[in-house]
Structure 1
Amino acid sequence: MAEEPAAPSPSQSTSSSASPLGHSVIPIVNKLQDIFAQLGSQSTIELPQVAVVGSQSSGKSSVLEALVGRDFLPRGSEICTRRPLVLQLLQTKRKPDGTEEEYGEFLHLPGKRFHDFSEIRREIEAETDKEAGGNKGVIDKQIRLKIFSPNVLDITLVDLPGLTKVPVGDQPSDIEARIRTMIMSYIKIPSCLILAVSPANADLANSDALQMAGMADPDGHRTIGVITKLDIMDRGTDARNLLLGKVIPLRLGYVGVVNRSQEDIILNRSVKDALVAEEKFFRSRPVYNGLADRCGIPQLAKKLNQILVQHIKAVLPGLKSRISSALVSVAKEHASYGEITESKAGQGALLLNILSKYSEAFSSMVEGKNEEMSTAELSGGARIHYIFQSIFVKSLEVCLF
């Protein structure tokens, strides 16, 4: 029997058609995201990215691992993604001798390279347990991971917790509402593309991912559909009409993929072997003839890369304007502090000047002399007086009597 050809990686299949612009604009946006992530809530500038949305066990993790070509995400039968994972894929060149280097870096561990992808999984699990606890808790504090590899295309994805109905472990009774609120906080932003992942063996009309995407993006300009688990559909059925958008239309269309099963994962079947099986599956199904651009992980990688680049180009003018305005504002604030010097004496004088200005501003606020004080409500000293004379006094009366 002839040996099956090796399945091409996403970058090998699409490098000739992937946008060269992606190699320049996507890494720049990634750097901005890293800077803004360190600023926390102080940043008000929204950057383009792709949010991955789907119900628990919809196949989100399998899709992400297939895009990378390696196993690196926590696995299990219960909820695994308990913190948003910002995944930045960066394509690198192979070495002159033909060898390739693949590694990951976490923003919270600068300079440390993870060449063993099982260590990446353990670090994700450790960081998740550190912030969310070890008993299925979910929080909205990001983990940021960069993966450098010649086998990926430049894409930035945010893996969000899967939608779940029944709380487990330390999860609160309103866990579904909390996860929906978390997801909506990402996908409602106009600069965010939505990757809505839905399994083919369930009714698409009941898809949680498409339902939430429809709420955040009613016109469908930002939503890309992914249909997973095509190989376990009921006999006699197929996903052709789903992929053609005849059931629930999406402007950016759908891509169908074949996931590794839980048995494959238990038996340590590699992602590369799964890509070979996926390619064989689509070649052996005549019903998917003519849908080559809508089938398989390589096509999904190509589509995401191209759409993300076009999306960045569309929002770039507004993004540049907002960053320029922020720079001007920060420069004015910086100048107001005085000239920065290298000498300790000069730095001490500068610090004293800043403290003096803060003290003056605080005093004027308490005395009601600050020009920025609101005239629509009590503030400053008047507010403090009201609290002591009204709220505090009433509280004492309740305690005494």
Structure 2
Amino acid sequence: MGNRGMEELIPLVNRLHEALGTVGQSCSLHLPQIAVVGGQSAGKSSVLENFVGRDFLPRGSGIVTRRPLVLQLLNSNIEYGEFFHCKGKKFTDFDEIRREIETETRRLTGSNKGISPVPITLKIYSPHVLNLTLVDLPGITKVPVGDQPADIEYQIRDIIMQYICKENCLVLAVTPANTDLANSDALKLAKDVDPEGKLRLWRRTGISVADDRW
């Protein structure tokens, strides 16, 4: 179909997903997407915000992304955000988008570090983006905090695998520059589903920008 065909197809399939979602059904048609995988505080939020050119994701210590965030970027002449759970409401203030992500996260997970596999879907319309779907996933952790269950490591792994096991999913493994790549949990997960490295990118963040690889 070429790039033009894909540009037209992405919004159409997104609308199909929304229509079926409103009646409790799922769509088996999935377009290529990029899943961002990394440990807690690895720099995933910074990477995603670079795609958009705006600061809009919650920040903090420990596990901040506690539900998958499906981020649909759509090229448009005007810039605003729209949530699947707030249909018809346009968010032009990106600080307000951040607060809405935090509120919707707490609605299902509480305020004590619980997690949920139920995604938050956010569309961002902007003249500065390409039509693209990205998924921000909970950071990999091994030690439970707050009201997290003892098997939190395996629950987060299950959530991540639900996305990166799809054949059309490109895995963006984010690792801090001060971490030995041999010890990167994100790369280990990516290699589990993509042993030949055909659908995998990795990026170091923080200290050594010169070592970044896309």
When normalised by structure 2's length, the TM-score is 0.91
Q: Which has the higher helix share?
A: 1
Distance 2:27 2:87 in 1: 24
Deviations 1:216-248 (A, max 9, x none): 12232221222222xx24xxx952xxx5xxxxx
Residue 35 (structure 1) shift: 3.2
Summarize the Cα distance change of 1:24–1:105 in structure 2 as closer, same or farther, 3 Å threshold: same
Q: Does 1:120 align with 2:97?
A: yes
1:286-319 Cα offsets, whole Å, 9 max, x none, are: xxxxxxxxxxxxxxxxxxxxxxxxxxxxxxxxxx
Question: By how many angstroms is 1:144 displaced?
Answer: 0.5
Given the alignment, which residue of 20, 28, 38 partners 1:45?
28
Do structure 1's residue 182 and structure 2's residue 166 form an aligned pair?
Answer: no
- State the Cα distance separating 1:22 from its structure 2 match: 4.1
* Distance in 1 separating the partners of 2:171 and 2:16: 20
Unaligned stretches of 5+ residues in structure 2 = none
1-structure distance, mates of 2:27, 2:55: 34
Structure 1 residues 143-174: Cα deviation after superposition (integer angstroms, max 9, x where no partner): 11000111111110111101012111111111
Q: Percent identity?
A: 58
Higher relative contact order (CA 8 A, sep 6+): 2
Letter paired with 2:47: V
Contact 2:16 2:27 in 1 (8 A): no
2: CA distance, partners of 1:69 / 1:104:
13
Q: Which residue of 2 aligns with 1:212?
A: 189
1:38 Cα deviation (Å)? Answer: 3.6
Output one character per residue of 1:33-69: Cα deviation in whole Å (capped at 9) or x when no partner. Answer: 32344454x4361512221111111100011112111
Q: Which 4+ residue blocks in structure 1 deviate beyond 6 angstroms?
A: none
Q: 2:139 aligned to 123, 139, 162, which one? A: 162
In the TM superposition, 1:374-389 aligns within 5 A as none
Greater fraction of residues in strand:
2
| CA distance in structure 1 between the partners assigned to 2:23 and 2:28 by the alignment | 11
Is 2:142–2:153's contact at 8 Å kept on the other side of the alignment? yes
| 2-structure distance, mates of 1:198, 1:86 | 21
Q: Is the 8 A contact 1:87 1:145 kept in 2?
A: yes
Displacement of 1:83: 0.5
Take 1:185 and 1:23, find their aligned partners in 2: how far apart are those partners? 25
In structure 2, C-alpha distance between the alignment counterparts of 1:69 and 1:238, rounded to whole Å:
21
Structure 1, unmatched stretches of 5+, are 1-18, 94-100, 244-253, 256-401
Residue-by-residue CA offset, 1:121-153 (whole Å, 9 max, x unaligned): 111111110111111100001111000111111
| Compared CA separation, residues 44 and 153, structure 1 to 2 (3 A) | closer
- Aligned-residue offset at 1:20: 3.7
Contact 2:140 2:156 in 1 (8 A): yes
1:171 aligned residue (148, 161, 167) = 148
In structure 2, what is the Cα distance between the partners aligned to 1:33 and 1:222?
A: 24
1:21 positional shift: 4.0
Q: 1:285-364 residue pairs with structure 2 within 5 A?
A: none
| Contact 2:17–2:27 (CA under 8 A) maintained in structure 1 | no
Aligned residues of 1:53 and 1:194 also touching (Cα < 8 A)? yes
Contact 2:17 2:26 in 1 (8 A): no
C-alpha distance in structure 2 between counterparts of 1:91 and 1:121, whole Å: 20
Of the two, which has the highest radius of gyration?
A: 1
Aligned partners of 1:55 and 1:164 also within 8 Å: yes
1:32 aligns with 2:16: yes
Q: Look up the match of 2:75.
A: 91
User: How many residues were matched structurally?
Assistant: 212
Report the Cα distance in structure 1 between the residues aligned to 2:184 and 2:204, rounded to whole angstroms. 11
Task: Map residues 131-146 of structure 1 onto 2, 5 A cutoff.
Answer: 131-146=108-123
**Structure 2: distance between partners of 1:214 and 1:106:** 32
CA RMSD after TM alignment: 2.0
Cα 1:130–1:64 change in 2 (3 A) is same
Is 1:70 the counterpart of 2:54 in the alignment? Answer: yes
